[in-house]
Structure 1
Amino acid sequence: MEALPRETIVDVLEGRLREDILTGRHPAGSYLPPERQLADGYGVTRTTLKHAFGRLVQAGLLETRHGVGTRVRDYARLGGADLLPMLVRHSPDWIGEIFEVRRSVGALIAERAAVRATAEQRAELGVLLAEVRAADGGDAVQLADIEVHRALARATGNRVYGLLTNTLFNAYLPVRAALVGPFTDPEAAYGRLEPVVAAVAAGDEGAARRAAEAYLTATERIMLEGLA
């Protein structure tokens, strides 16, 4: 068993500040109160506050200007996809929008992979697909399924598709346990994914897109039922 991480006071403060930003208590474009006032308000030292600020600057929620202060960034306008896990943790209704992107990007990746995959990549897809069927337990099946999609993205020959695939999977992390529904039965998970791999292996881009759309729609429905 893996030991659970212990929260530090910096972790707790970071979470409080993040929620206060995302709920609009500190709106985009506004400057936070002076550090001493803010530290007193949260009941922490200024050193602890600075550590929490550093994390939120790195996350893209704050920006600090020497001699001016710390301002809340307009993350909706300026932020990147790396914010998605944080936003999903704050509000799971982001998942619906992530799924919309997942459908369109996933179908395009399958189509491109059917045209561009090498013989070696097609063989790798077959091996990874077999691992979905052989996996034991929903979590293991889910992880094996993810590796097939990573391989499909690599087979497009476009590294950006690989990064987009990783970004979407990372966005699921805060609620991944609730999305295990499509993967509790290894044989059923294999059956849904096999037509995608078969169409890519055959080099049939139209069939690959249709199979991917069917797979993504079916798994999305099951996952949303798990979240409901």
Structure 2
Amino acid sequence: MAFSTIKLQPSLVEQVCARIASEIRDEGGGSNGWLPPERDLALKLGVSRPVVREATKRLELQGLLEVKHGVGTKVVDKLHKPLNGSLALLIPDDKERLRQLVQVRFMLEPENARLAAEHASAAQIRSLRAALTQLEQAQDFETAVVADMTFHREVAAASGNQIATLLLHSLSELIQSSLIRGYSRTSTENAVRQHAAVLGAIEKRNPAAAAQAMREHLITAEADLALPKPKKTSRA
């Protein structure tokens, strides 16, 4: 006896979540960054207020909305927040978090640079150049960290892969901690030179060179962290 697969329909709450998220994207952040009042939104969508309330709660947990009680529901861009909170619980030791971050960056960022060399628009290359200039001209620690972070985010955005961009953005707080530790031990000289190499390869549309330049940059960044070697665990 043959059975066909049952196609599960999304729940009403899931449909409302998808509709709200779609409207936010289409409107470029919603009407002045705020959703309509709960009652009005329920009427517009043809659902009950409890369904709207549950949908907005889910989107708040995902970092897309921020519910301000007594004020309204604001559209935000905090999609990275859930991951940042989970990482601190999953890996309590800050040095171990940085060590594992380096491993992930080696997996992700050379490929971002390779794709950026293939897909970066002229506007994205200008944004990369602006971030590099900001790093070159940084006169203080905080500005250097922001400029460095901006450059890596722009490379991810220029890759054309939205998942890769979100992944890097999700790691932004941890990457910032890594940069703070690294810059406390060294100057911006190496970072400026290596960022310039990555950008140069992207401008020349040379994917292999862009990936290699990013890999070499990450090797230096890892050394700058001066993390103690992990303790070997004995096997039974």
TM-score bucket of the superposed structures, by smaller chain:
0.5 to 0.7
Which residue in 2 is equivalent to 1:193? 195
Which residue in 1 is equivalent to 2:214? 212
Q: TM-score if structure 2 supplies the norm length?
A: 0.56
The list of structure 1 runs, each at least 4 consecutive aligned residues, that deviate by more than 6 angstroms after superposition, is none
SS of the equivalent of 2:95 reads: coil
Q: Output the CA distance in 2 between the equivalents of 1:209 and 1:222.
A: 20
Correspondence list, 1:1-228, <5 A:
82-172=85-175, 177-181=180-184, 184-225=186-227
**Change in CA separation of 1:174 and 1:155 when aligned onto 2, cut-off 3 Å:** closer
SS of the equivalent of 2:139 reads: coil
SS of the equivalent of 2:160 reads: coil
1:226 is displaced (CA, Å) by: 9.2
Aligned residue type for 1:129: L
Q: Output the CA distance in 1 between the equivalents of 2:224 and 2:177.
A: 18
Aligned residue type for 1:179: G
1:86 is displaced (CA, Å) by: 4.1
Q: RMSD of the TM alignment (CA)?
A: 2.8
Deviation per CA, 1:184-221, whole angstroms, max 9, x where unpaired? 52333211211001101111000001000000111111
Structure 2 portions without partners, runs of 5+: 1-60, 63-81, 231-236
**Change in CA separation of 1:176 and 1:129 when aligned onto 2, cut-off 3 Å:** closer
Q: Output the CA distance in 2 between the equivalents of 1:102 and 1:174.
A: 14
Aligned residue type for 1:197: L
Are the counterparts in 1 of residues 182 and 221 from structure 2 also a CA contact under 8 Å?
Answer: no
1:164 is displaced (CA, Å) by: 1.0
Are the counterparts in 2 of residues 199 and 205 from structure 1 also a CA contact under 8 Å?
Answer: yes
- Give the number of aligned pairs: 151
Deviation per CA, 1:40-98, whole angstroms, max 9, x where unpaired? xxxxxxxxxxxxxxxxxx79xxxxxxxxxxxxxxxxxxx95651244455442132121
1:174 is displaced (CA, Å) by: 5.6
Q: Output the CA distance in 1 between the equivalents of 2:113 and 2:175.
A: 20
Are the counterparts in 1 of residues 135 and 192 from structure 2 also a CA contact under 8 Å?
Answer: yes
Aligned residue type for 2:136: R
Q: Output the CA distance in 2 between the equivalents of 1:176 and 1:133.
A: 16
Which shows bigger deviation, 187-196 or 210-219? 187-196
Which shows bigger deviation, 103-112 or 79-88? 79-88
Are the counterparts in 2 of residues 109 and 161 from structure 1 also a CA contact under 8 Å?
Answer: yes
**Change in CA separation of 1:86 and 1:188 when aligned onto 2, cut-off 3 Å:** same
SS of the equivalent of 1:135 reads: coil
Q: Output the CA distance in 2 between the equivalents of 1:175 and 1:117.
A: 26
Q: TM-score if structure 1 supplies the norm length?
A: 0.58
The percent of aligned pairs where both chains have the same amino acid is 23
